[in-house]
């Protein structure tokens, strides 16, 4: 399992557009389970409504856990996306 944390810098947080792009990215890695944690709430990154229901705002810390095939590459791709978009 690969795990990392990311603090949201986008002033709006995770809203519909970046959430949709995150889901699309996660679906490219069918062999890996990508879980997003905000505090004690979590959801799979492939679930758009789950991401939206986390209510992620600017300054919130997320923990991303990747489990499955090629964890390092998947975690790197997700972290790169977060840094570029959120």
In the residue annotation, 58 being an active-site residue is answered as: no
Q: Which of 12, 15, 24, 39 is catalytic?
A: 15
Task: State how far Cα 82 lies from the chain centre.
Answer: 7
H or E element at residue 38: strand 32-38
CB 37 within 8 A of CB 65: yes
In the structure encoding, which two tokens stand for residue 75, read together? 């975690």
Please give the positions annotated as active site.
15
């Amino acid at each position: 399992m690969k795990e990392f944390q990311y603090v949201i810098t986008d002033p709006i947080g995770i809203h519909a557009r970046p959430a949709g792009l995150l889901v699309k990215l996660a679906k490219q890695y069918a062999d890996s389970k990508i879980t997003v944690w905000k505090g004690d709430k979590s959801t799979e990154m492939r679930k758009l409504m789950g991401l939206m229901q986390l209510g992620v705002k600017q300054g919130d810390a997320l923990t991303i856990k990747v489990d499955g095939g090629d964890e390092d590459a998947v975690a790197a791709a997700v972290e790169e996306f977060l840094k570029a978009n959120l």
